[in-house]
Amino acid sequence: MFVFALAVVFKLFTIQMVHGDKYRDLAEKRTVKNDTIPANRGNVYASDGSLLATSIPKYDIRFDALTPTSKTFESLIKPLSDSLSKYSGKSSGYYEKELRKARANRNRYFILARNINYTDYARIRNFPLLNLGAIRGGLIVEQTTKREHPMGGIAQRSIGYERKDKDGHYVRAGIDGAFGEMYLRGTDGHRMKQKIGKGQWKPITDYNEIEPRDGYDVYTTIDVNIQDIAHHALLEQLEKYKADHGSVIVMETKTGEIKAISNLGRNSDGHYYERLNYAVGESSEPGSTFKIMAITAALEDKVIDTSDVVDTQKGVLSYYGKKVRDSKHGGYGKITIAKAIEVSSNTAIVAAIDKAYKDQPSKFIDRLYAMNLNTRLDLPIVGEPEPIIPDPRIKNGRWSGIALQWMAYGYGVSFTPLQTLTFYNAIANNGEMVKPQFLREVREFDKTIVPFKKEVINPRICSQETVDKVKKLLENVVERGTGSKLYSPNFSMAGKTGTCQKDYANKDKLSYISSFAGFFPADNPKYSCIVVIHEPDKSVGYYGADVSGPVFKKIAQKIFTDTPITDEVETLNFQNTVVNKDFENYYNVAQTHKTIMPDVRGMPTMDALALLENMGLKVKIQGVGVVKKQSIEQGVKITRDQEVYLNI
C-alpha cells in the first residue's frame, strides 16, 4: 500500500509539474475556444444610392439557466415570463414552466428567440433578468449575418455573392464576389467561448474581445430605373418566344458605365430567373452582328468601300463544297456593300471579304487584333472567356480553307455579349473603346475611399471616316433594312440584327441565337445596348429583328420616356414687345402715384388691379380685358380703403 501510494504521488507530480503545461493547454483547447465573429459585409448600392445588396444581422437569444442565483431567479422569473409572453404571444405560464424546467435540467443553452432582427434583439435583452447580462442574468447572444437583395431577382446574378464552402474555399459571383475580398468583406472580430457540454459553446463574456470592422460600401454604375426596364423587357420576350435563356446589357457610351445588365434562364418549371451571368461568361458565335466588325476592318484597310457592288450569285456561294446561303431565296442580285449590310446578305459580305483578303488572310486577322477584338476585357467579375478568332499563323486546329469566309458572317469566331457590345460602343463613341465599368466608387460612410474613372482600352480603333460610314450603315439597318420593324419617327436608333445557327452540326438539335446590338440616339449616342436570346421556339420565330430587336426598342423607348436624354434646355431669349411695354407702363405709374389716382385706362385688368390694391384701394371690376373707364378721375387725392370701379 505504501509503494502504491508513492506511485500515485509520483504520477500526480509528473502530471502537474512535468507535463502540466501540456495538459493545461489541452484542457483549455477542449473547453475554451477563440470564436470568429464575421464582420458585417459592406453594402452594394446603385448609382442613385438605391440598395442592391446588404448584410442583415440576425440574432439567437439563449439563456443559461444556472447562472442566476436562486434569489435572483425566483424574483425575476415572473416578470421575464410576462415580457416574453408579450413579445411572442405565448402565455406567461408557458414560459415560466419552460424556464423552471431548464433550470431543473441544468440547461445552460436554452433557446428564447431564434433568427431575430436587431430591433427585437435590443428589446429582448432589456427584459427582466436578461438585462443583468451574461454573468448575473445568464444572457447568451449569438450573432450571424444574412445577405439580402432588396430588389429581389432583378440583376441578382450580376450583383452576385461571395460564399465560403465547407473546405474553406470561396465561391465568387458578380459584383459582390469580385470586390468582396478587397472592399466588402471587412475584418472579422473574435470572442472567447467556453464548452458547456453536449457540443455546445457559450460566450464567456457578453462583449467581443476584438470587435469586427465592417466592410466598405461599393456604389455601382447600375441605374435601377434602366435595370428594371431591361429586366422586364427581356423577361417578356423570353416568355413570348419560349426561349432557353437570354441577356441584355445597357452601357453609357462615353464612360463605359454599365447601366443595366440582366441574365435570365429558364428552370424545369418554365420560370425565368437570374441563373448564370451569360452577359459576361457565355461566349458564342455572334452571327450577323460580326459582319459590322468585318466590314469595319475592310473599310479601315481601304480594300472595300460601301459603294462597291457585289454579285450575290442567286443567294448561294460555295467554298470547298460548303455553301453560304442568303435568307432570301434567289439572293439579292447585284447590290452595294451598304445595301448588303441593310438586308444582312451573307453571300455579299462573304464575297467582299473573300475578294479583299483571300490572298492575305493574316491582314484581316491583324486588323481585328488592332481593334482589340482578340483580348479579354480584363473585368473584375470572374468567368470572362477569351475571344476566339482563328489565325492561320496559330496551329490550334481552328484555321481551315473556309475559315476566312465563315468568319465574314460570324461563324468560327466567338465572343461574349459584353465583348461584342464593347466594340459597338466604340463605334458609337467615335472610335474610342472604353472598358466596361461596374463601379463608381468605394465609400466608408460619406467618405470616398476609392474613386473609379473611365478606362480607355483603345483611343481609336479606326479612323473617323470609317466610324462615320459604319454609323450610317447601322442607321440604315433600322430605317430601311432588317431592323425596319423597330424604326420610330419619334427617336432614332442604330444597330445590327443577328441570327446565328446553334448546334448546326446536328440537324436534330439545330437551334438559333437571336441578337441585336446598337446604340441610341443615332445622331448623338448616349447609350449602347445588346440583346442576345438563345434557343427561341422556332415555331414562334427566331430572327434577330423579331426576337431580340423589340427588347432593344422597348428599352430605348422607355429610357427616352422615363429618363430623358436631354437633361437641360437652354433658356430662350425671346422678347415680347407688347408685354415689355405694358410692364414699363405699369412700373412707371406705380413709382409715380402713391396717394393720387392714376390713369389706368388702357392697362390690362390684372396690372390695374395689382397697382390700385397696392395703393390701398378696394377695386371692383366689371368685365374682362383692358380698362376702359374708372370711377375716380385721374389726379384726385385718394384715401386707403376707398372703393374704385373699373369698367372693362
- pLDDT (mean) for 155-174: 72
- SS3 sequence, 457-483? EECCCCCHHHHHHHHHHHHHHHHHCCC
Choose the final residue of a domain: 532, 562, 592.
Answer: 562
**What is the CB neighbour count within 10 angstroms for residue 286?**
29
Residue 117 DSSP code: -
For residue 173, the SS3 value is: strand
Which is higher by pLDDT, 229 or 168? Answer: 229
CA–CA gap between residue 259 and residue 221 (Å, rounded): 6
Choose the final residue of a domain: 538, 562, 586.
Answer: 562
Residue 258 DSSP code: E
pLDDT of residue 490: 81
Q: How many domains does the chain have?
A: 4
CA–CA gap between residue 491 and residue 552 (Å, rounded): 13
Same domain, 59 and 144: yes
Sign of CA dihedral 248, 252, 256, 260: negative
The whole domain housing 403 covers 225-562
Same domain, 599 and 555: no
Look at residues 41, 269, 278, 53 and name the one whose alpha carbon lies nearest to residue 152: 53
DSSP count for the chain of H helices, then E strands: 21, 27
CA–CA gap between residue 578 and residue 596 (Å, rounded): 26
Same domain, 165 and 309: no
pLDDT in tens, 46-92: 888 888 888 787 899 999 989 899 999 999 999 999 999 999 989 99
pLDDT of residue 306: 94
pLDDT in tens, 414-468: 999 999 999 999 999 999 999 999 999 998 878 888 899 999 999 999 999 999 9
Same domain, 9 and 84: no
Q: Which of 18-32, 106-120, 172-186, 218-232 has the lowest mean pLDDT?
A: 18-32
Cβ–Cβ under 8 Å, residues 547 and 237? yes
Cβ–Cβ under 8 Å, residues 375 and 433? no
Q: How many CA atoms lie within 13 A of 463 on its CB side?
A: 9
Same domain, 6 and 45: no
pLDDT in tens, 93-102: 999 999 999 9
Look at residues 419, 618, 617 and name the one whose alpha carbon lies nearest to residue 532: 419
pLDDT of residue 268: 85
- SS3 sequence, 606-638? HHHHHHHHHCCCEEEEECCCECCEECCCCCCEC
pLDDT over 70 (residue 528): yes
Same domain, 340 and 489: yes
Residue 68: inside a domain, yes or no? yes
Residue 432 DSSP code: -
Cβ–Cβ under 8 Å, residues 529 and 514? no
Same domain, 470 and 558: yes
Model confidence at 569, pLDDT cuts 50, 70, 90, reads very low
Same domain, 154 and 232: no
- pLDDT (mean) for 576-600: 61
Residue 522: inside a domain, yes or no? yes
Task: Name the β-bridge partners of 621.
Answer: 646
CA–CA gap between residue 327 and residue 482 (Å, rounded): 11
pLDDT of residue 644: 86
56: domain CATH number is 3.90.1310.10
CA–CA gap between residue 633 and residue 639 (Å, rounded): 14
Cβ–Cβ under 8 Å, residues 630 and 612? no
pLDDT in tens, 602-611: 888 777 877 7
Residue 448: inside a domain, yes or no? yes
260: domain CATH number is 3.40.710.10
Peptide bond between residue 521 and the one before it cis (omega within 30 degrees of 0): yes
Residue 93: inside a domain, yes or no? yes
611: domain CATH number is 3.30.10.20
Same domain, 92 and 235: no
pLDDT over 60 (residue 318): yes
Residue 128: inside a domain, yes or no? yes
pLDDT over 90 (residue 240): yes
Residue 571: inside a domain, yes or no? no
pLDDT of residue 508: 76
pLDDT over 90 (residue 24): no
- pLDDT (mean) for 252-280: 91
Q: Which of 17-31, 98-112, 263-277, 433-447 has the lowest mean pLDDT?
A: 17-31
Same domain, 94 and 204: yes
Same domain, 296 and 162: no
pLDDT of residue 11: 80
Look at residues 94, 210, 73 and name the one whose alpha carbon lies nearest to residue 138: 73
CA–CA gap between residue 646 and residue 606 (Å, rounded): 11
Mean pLDDT (the chain) is 85
Cβ–Cβ under 8 Å, residues 392 and 399? yes
Query: 176: part of which helix (H) or strand (E)?
Result: helix 174-178
pLDDT over 70 (residue 397): yes
pLDDT over 50 (residue 154): yes
For residue 359, the SS3 value is: coil
Residue 568: inside a domain, yes or no? no
Residue 572: inside a domain, yes or no? no
pLDDT over 80 (residue 547): yes
Choose the final residue of a domain: 220, 237, 271.
Answer: 220
pLDDT over 60 (residue 475): yes
Same domain, 337 and 434: yes
